[in-house]
Amino acid sequence: MKILEVQQFSEQELIDRLRKLTMLEDKETKPYEKTFISMENICIDDLFPPQRYVLKSELMKVRELKWRLEEQEIDIFNLNGFIRVKLDGNREPIDLLPPVVEEVIERNGRIVNIINDGMHRIYLAYLEWVIPQVVFIRGLPKNLLYYAFPIPDKDWTKIELRDDIPKNFIKKWHRIEKNKELYRNFNSTFMNVGGPRGNIG
């Protein structure tokens, strides 16, 4: 992996873009428009993953990106905004945001901080004993919660490192039947975020 160029964007630019972000299927709805958005360093033990696996290939890719960014004096765990990275061999640059965490109040009254985006970076932080900086979003409309439930036991030791995902493997427990109606479209305001597998996780 070779970095050709890095552009850095401020925390305020990140927040402004997040407020304009739309849903994937409903381009008129902006889930974060009226939420409280802040940059926080949150301990891994206080974060709930929505899935019980990470892909080894993606984890290795994120670790290598971390090393390459360190050569540019950029800490992948503390971006203080977001960066736009041009990688050798990629036609278009990739926007890298801090992991996105949403506060959700579940039906039993439990308040949980669920990882929306950046699962592999959070897991890397777990492996490397880091308290990562995240985008922390509170006050989401009840009809626009993250599309999957958090894992109830929140046990990071049970997260599987996998080479691939078997055909009938249950990746996440969806909140509603038409779960794609709750997908956020990060690419509505950023470049190549959370797109096809091969971008940075």
**Helix or strand (DSSP H, E) at 113:** strand 111-117
Task: Tell me what pLDDT residue 200 has.
Answer: 55
Contacts of 104 (CB under 8 A, 6+ apart): 111, 112, 113, 114, 140, 145, 146, 150
Encoding tokens for residue 168? 């009938």
Distance CA 186, CA 193 (A): 6
Q: Where are the domains of the chain?
A: 3-183
Distance CA 124, CA 60 (A): 9
In Å, what is the CA distance from 165 to each residue of 97, 124, 150, 151?
A: 25, 19, 19, 18
Task: Tell me what pLDDT residue 194 has.
Answer: 59
Domain 3-183 sits in CATH at 3.90.1530.10
Task: Tell me what pLDDT residue 115 has.
Answer: 97
Task: Tell me what pLDDT residue 196 has.
Answer: 37
Mean pLDDT for back-to-back runs of 10 residues, the chain (201 residues): 91 97 94 97 95 93 95 96 91 93 94 95 97 97 93 85 89 91 94 59 60
